[in-house]
Amino acid sequence: MIRDAGAADFPAILALNAASEHFLSRMDAARLAHLHAQAAYHRVEAGAEAAAFLLAFREGADYDSPNYGWFKARYPSFVYIDRVVVDTAHRGKGFGTALYADVFAFAASQGVAMVTCEFDVEPPNEVSRRFHARFGFREVGTHRYGKKRVSLQEART
């Protein structure tokens, strides 16, 4: 069941994010509250507790991510997928695919033609690359952060 995230989901969301920090930026409770307030889309795949979440922003959000800023400087209208995490115990059950289908439907319902995101290419994240290719994402730029490089991606709704 996909539903809007709420404050009661924050502990589970923080735990999911912490387990995936090697791919994502750190997020504490204050940061999550701020991002939740700025998000155009913040939903969870959940029963009693969040097993997966997706956090996305529209243009104009108060968000200091350099990747989000790259898209903000170039695209007049977009939905930026900042992070999606699926609990390791629930991987392979289609939760990530369901959340992506839902965020694409959300973007289309808002009249937004472009969904954007990024994923690691150095070190490589081949699972993420294949996943995004299934949704029609294509590279439009890159960013380097020390030893890490990300591929900036776009897909039409």
- Domain containing 98 — which CATH number? 3.40.630.30
> Going residue by residue through the chain (157 aa), what tens digit of pLDDT does each one get?
999 999 999 999 999 999 887 777 889 999 999 999 999 999 999 876 789 999 999 999 999 999 999 999 999 999 999 999 999 888 888 999 999 999 999 999 999 999 999 999 998 889 899 999 999 999 999 999 888 899 999 999 9
d(CA 102, CA 81): 12
Tally of domains within the chain: 1
Tallying the residues shown for the chain, one arrives at 157
Single pTM value for the model: 0.94
Domain hosting 103: range is 2-156
